[in-house]
Amino acid sequence: MRLPRRALPPPRPHPPLLHLLVLLSFAVPETAAAPPRTSSIVGMAWPTKCTWLPLPTSGMSHSYTLFSKYHKIWKETKEAVSANDVSRQETISGVIALKGSMKYFDADFFNDSKLREMEDGAIEFNVPAFRDNRKLVALENGGLHNPSALVFKSSWNGESKISKRKSLDYPITSSVHRPSKDEDIAFMSIMELGELIRTKQVTSRELTDVFLRRLKRYSPVIKSVITVTDDLAYKQAKEADDLLEQGKYLGLLHGIPYGLKDIIAVPEYKTTWGSKTFENQVLDIEAYVYKRLKSTGAVLVAKLVTGSLAYDDIWFGGRTRNPWNIEEFSTGSSAGPAASTSAGMVPFAIGSETAGSITYPAARCGVTALRPTFGTVARTGVMSISESLDKLGPFCRSAIDCAVVLDEIRGKDAGDPSSREVDIEDPFHVDITQLTVGYLDSAEMEVVNVLSAKGVKLVPFKLNYTVESVQSILNITMDVDMLAHFDNWQREGLDNVYEAQDQWPVELRRARLIPAVEYLQAQRARGKLIREVKESFTVDAFIGNATDWELVCLGNLVGMPVAVVPTGFKSIEDPPKSGTRRRTTITTGIYAPPDHDHIALALAMAYQSVTDHHKQRPPIDDLGSDNDV
Ligand SMILES: *[C@@H]1O[C@H](CO)[C@@H](O)[C@H](O)[C@H]1NC(C)=O
Ligand SMILES: *[C@@H]1O[C@H](CO)[C@@H](O)[C@H](O)[C@H]1NC(C)=O
Ligand SMILES: *[C@@H]1O[C@H](CO)[C@@H](O)[C@H](O)[C@H]1NC(C)=O
Ligand SMILES: *[C@@H]1O[C@H](CO)[C@@H](O)[C@H](O)[C@H]1NC(C)=O
């Protein structure tokens, strides 16, 4: 219902007020320039040109009430401009307008420089995305089409239960012998270590010693470890050894050491989220994934680096390095799980991905990893960026190990309403000769050729979708969800001490300017994207670049699984004259439809059964004399 307009003539705006109105209609400050972004997780250049928006014609017909409202804001905030902030007349006016409006967002706490940055970000990123999404899904009234991708479930039956499902049918590993060197033990697979434990060639205590030594030896250089959990590790190792003495063997993870990304809570130890602000935080919570691993007899040896608040590879203690080339960084945000697994500091680790945080560091550090179907592993006790995007997944030495770990950690929990019992079939029972697998232009042809030789039908492939702003849907979803979880952190100004000022702080301030309705239009656009991807997913799986940003955003918005598989090495750029063993790793992603993780894993296993890129050891002792590491 609309109230009848009052017949009062609007007051004549005096010049500054007119100017203000123009700015309120999204005029862009002339010199708006954005700083370059250096984040390697995003890896996208800051667009060099600013998007200029035409003035909406309706801007000239503001009602009297609007006029008086803006006039009031103007009066109230005119004095608020600090004296040293007079460099750009137009920007200051815009900042005044924004400052005035922020009280309607109940977020009246940003200073002028932050408001200016928010204004630039809103114009450059938010507004074009709003328009794209509206054009795509919201031109029609009535909500008959394009339902949101977010679904409300009224069921109260969310109790945790570890269902009595059949476990996977692992291949038998036999005739494994204990190597004499610790280093050779450190690079064995879970399958091999499990066999050493089961046949009592090694105790869990001995394995724990090997990995604790390596964690302590390499963490000062690689910076991939936040807390070594010695006491807990020795306690859990003793329990594993005692059980085995009593003739009780819990399965392949019995007695096997591992690490957790430090966004996963374990009681009595710090859970720092990689952030200065939370450096001393101890959460009395047993994360679901930790509970599961504990019940399999696995031994927690370390809380591993997460980039600060699960973004990139910078954390309160420094920046995590890539074991394959110590001069390089690991990318993130599962920096610790990737780098530590790569360096033989743990046999496997659990990391997480919202957008690229498993795929990027796994690719950079040359380890095999799985980003499972969304909802497969309950996230109870894990710091949350976005309820509809975050996933937990394993970093391992092989796809077989990823299957083993996934089998033990998957499941639904009451603490995570999005989790479910995903009905994954047994990857060890997939007949790959019955599969048709697509390959994108970006696929590594070696994988295509190897799988083809193994009898898989390979066809050129392309995903077909009309949604243009896949990356901005990801941004809107992730940033608003994150801000909801770190609202108070921002209000208290703690973002001022965040480790990488050009990352979360900027994105989360910009997220303040995303209206709820535009967030929901983004979820409707996401729903359309999901339907289109489903429609065009005409193959059983496809092979493509694991770190292509568009594909990373798409895969996460859809919730599809991807196996990240090392597929080779190339020389580093600018190698030292004295020679080097450092390498750049090459990786491929094997993507499957949601709930078909077993297909991606089966293909990765088939590839790894006849290649050995995944078994190569990084030159972590090649620190180089000419580098200041
Ligand atoms: C706004 O706050 C930030 C962080 O404390 C500070 O660096 C900046 O100088 C402030 N800007 C103004 C105009 O006060
Ligand atoms: C891609 O999708 C569009 C729109 O749905 C459709 O018109 C077109 O035929 C599709 N192309 C292919 C190659 O499937
Ligand atoms: C998404 O946000 C990142 C980080 O601020 C930015 O670099 C990127 O350009 C944004 N992309 C879009 C499409 O908004
Ligand atoms: C994969 O994507 C990354 C990031 O966009 C890019 O650097 C790399 O060259 C791509 N690889 C291939 C084979 O297209």
| Binned average pLDDT, 10 residues per bin, the chain of 629 residues | 40 39 37 36 33 31 37 42 46 80 95 95 96 95 92 75 73 91 97 97 98 97 98 98 97 97 98 98 98 98 98 98 96 98 98 98 98 98 98 98 97 94 91 98 96 98 95 98 98 97 97 98 98 98 97 98 97 88 96 98 98 96 59
Could you give the CA distance from residue 447 to residue 608 in angstroms, rounded to a whole number? Answer: 10
Helix ranges, 486-548 (H): 487-491, 504-511, 516-536
3-state DSSP: the chain helix, strand, coil percent, rounded to 5? 40, 15, 45
Fold observed for domain 182-571+581-615: Amidase signature (AS) enzymes (3.90.1300)
Rounded Cα distance between 469 and 482, Å, is 20
Where exactly are the structural domains of the chain? 23-39+49-133, 182-571+581-615
Under 8 Å between Cβ of 134 and 104:
no
Q: What is the pLDDT of residue 157?
A: 74
| Ligand (nearest to CA of 129) | 3
Bond from prior residue into 333 cis (ω within 30 degrees of 0):
yes
Which atom of ligand 4 is found nearest the CA of 441? 14
Single pTM value for the model = 0.86
Cβ of 42 less than 6 Å from ligand 3: yes
Q: Which two tokens stand for residue 190?
A: 């879970």
CB 392 within 8 A of CB 377: yes
Active-site residue, 261 included? yes
The pLDDT score that the predictor gives to residue 61 is 34
Residue in the block written with tokens 């979803």: 477
Cα distances (Å, whole numbers) of residue 99 to 80, 94, 120, 331, 485: 9, 8, 14, 36, 23
Q: Is 429 exposed, middle or buried (0-12, 13-18, 19+ CB in 10 A)?
A: exposed
pLDDT value of position 448: 98
Please identify which residue in the block is written with the tokens 């007119």. 18
pLDDT at 82: 43
Cβ 496 under 6 angstroms from ligand 1: yes
Q: Ligand 1: which atom is nearest the Cα of residue 496? A: 4
Please tell me whether the peptide bond between 82 and the residue prior to it is cis, using omega within 30 degrees of 0. Answer: no
For ligand 4, atom 14, which residue shows the shortest CA distance?
442
Tell me which residue of 585, 611, 608, 569 sits closest to 191, measured CA to CA: 608
Helices 190-198, 399-409: inter-axial angle, 10-degree rounding:
70
pLDDT at position 10 is: 39
pLDDT number for residue 92: 60
- Centre of ligand 4 from the C-alpha of residue 586, in Å: 10
What is the end-to-end Cα distance of the chain in Å, rounded?
67
Q: Are 325 and 348 in contact (CB under 8 A)?
A: no
Distance 46 CA to ligand 3 centre (A): 8
Pocket lining: 113 vs ligand 1, CB cutoff 6 Å: yes
Q: Cβ of 74: how many Cβ atoms within 10 Å?
A: 20
The span from the CA of 521 to the CA of 519, in Å, is 6
Pocket of ligand 2 (CB under 6 A): 464, 466
Q: What is the rounded distance in angstroms from the CA atom of residue 373 to the CA atom of residue 599?
A: 12
Neighbours of 574 (CB within 10 A): 8
Give yes or no for a contact between 95 and 119, defined as CB atoms under 8 angstroms apart: yes
Q: Write down how long the chain is.
A: 629
Report pLDDT for 12.
40
| 439 CA → ligand 4 middle, Å | 14
Q: Positive or negative, the Cα torsion across 365, 371, 376, 378?
A: positive
- List the one residue out of 293, 256, 523 whose CA is nearest residue 387: 523
Amino acid occupying residue 531: R
